[in-house]
Amino acid sequence: MFFALYAQSKVRNAYVRYSQVPSARGVSGAEVARTLLDNQGLSGVAVELTGGNLTDHYDPRQQAVRLSRGVYAGNSLAALGIAAHETGHALQHATGYFALNLRNNFFPVAQLGSSMAMPLFLLGFLFANNLGFLMDVGILFFVFAVLFQVITLPVEYNASARAVEMLSANGLIAREEESGVKAVLNAAALTYVAATAVAVGNLLRLVFLRDRRQ
């Protein structure tokens, strides 16, 4: 829990800091995303404005990079890094990046596992004499959710690596600006590491409770 709170604080502080540092080129996040997509031959992928704060994402079904207002119109190092990161996901999708395909295909299973794990485990926990086996079923379902978090890690880190590489290769950031972009993206990636750690911790807690109940 503390690790998750630390990760959230880290990404918030990094975003606030580098959202106040304008890029030397002065281009917006939307312009960066459009330029990178076009240069990668992905002119059919749309760049759209979405509501909320830090709600940026790539929608593979609609083939659209959606950027929050601060990123879409912003010209800070934080905005450019986030826009390029989501473009990295679009490139992963276009090139059939294995980890992304695996995550997308595994998502329905993970979603089912997340929704069913705790009800099944609690039912087995409360009625251990007759339905104790449901604790094992619940743990198995929760394993699917944990695996989804693990699969997400290489997807996010790869998108960030692609982002920095594309920004530099296309001359959208200067060499001395790379550290700022990396700081934002590394902080964001830490939240996924924290989410994975929390999921693993919860899995171990369920196993411990199962063993104590039996």
Q: Catalytic residue positions?
A: 86
Q: In the sheet where 64-68 sits, what is the strand order?
A: 46-50, 64-68, 57-59
Residue appearing with tokens 């992905």: 42
Q: What is the DSSP secondary-structure string of 35-56? A: HHHHHTT-TTSEEEEESSSS--
Closest CA to 177 of 5, 54, 17, 24: 24
Residue 49 phi/psi, 5-degree rounding, is -85, 135
Element (H, E) at 212: helix 178-213
Cβ contacts of 158 within 8 Å, gap of 6 or more:
88, 92, 97, 99
If DSSP codes are grouped into helix, strand and coil, which group holds residue 23?
coil
